[in-house]
Amino acid sequence: MNSFGRLILVPTPIGNLEDITLRAINVLKGADLILAEDTRVSSKLMKHLEIDKRLIPHHKFNEHKTLQNIISKLKEGLHVAMISDAGTPGISDPGFLLVRTCIENTIDVECLPGATALIPALAVSGLPTDKFVFEGFLPQKKGRQKRLIQLSEENRTMVFYESPFRLVKAISQFSAFFGAERQACVCRELSKMFEEIKRGTLAELEKYYSENTPKGEIVIVVEGFSKKGK
């Protein structure tokens, strides 16, 4: 048995700060190091939780450069907590590379249960939840059309993340590849003051958001393909 430290992935609230768990707070207070996607964003949460610890930047632009230094700290026996701006690290956020490298170096990795946008969106969509596929952010350019073609006959409920600036375009493409009458749900600003849940066909949602400019974090849940609905 080695004397290495442990990497702990700590989910943080996607909006409402009361969604932080007691266990997450205790882990953050007890960690030797806290890795943060954006220290400016995370420092606000730390201040709210009254946790006075230095945050180390670890994001998609520097993760390859900082990786070995973090591994060295873990091998020295330090316990390292990792947080992203919101939600669970590694889910459409940095985390995968560090987790994989820890596993390769026999360093223990733990992930606390907690906030993530995709599950609440799926649950309130009114679409089947027994089987679903999480696509996260689709490629913006190269490979996007190919993936949409592949998904056009996906029979499980599909969950996507999208920017408000590209929402109308995304729904328009879904309508073109999946069919305008496919049922869908757009969840905006989940758990925040201006949370909005809009359900309808892709055609109806495209019309609505063409007339009502969206803002904030967005999850799109789309009905899966069925021969009956084709």
Token pair 């609440």 is at which residue? 120
Residues 116 and 14 sit within 8 Å (Cβ to Cβ): yes
Q: Which residues touch 52 (CB under 8 Å, ≥6 apart)?
A: 46
List beta partners, residue 57: 36
% the chain with pLDDT above 90? 95
168 residue type, one letter: V
What angle is formed at CA 197 by the lines to CA 195 and CA 40, rounded to 5 degrees? 35
Q: pLDDT at position 230, please?
A: 53
CA–CA gap between residue 116 and residue 167 (Å, rounded): 20
pTM, rounded to two decimals: 0.92
CA–CA gap between residue 158 and residue 128 (Å, rounded): 10
List, for residues 65-88, the tens digit of each pLDDT value. Answer: 999 999 999 999 999 999 999 999
DSSP reduced 3-state for 204: helix
> Which residue stretches of the chain have pLDDT < 50?
none
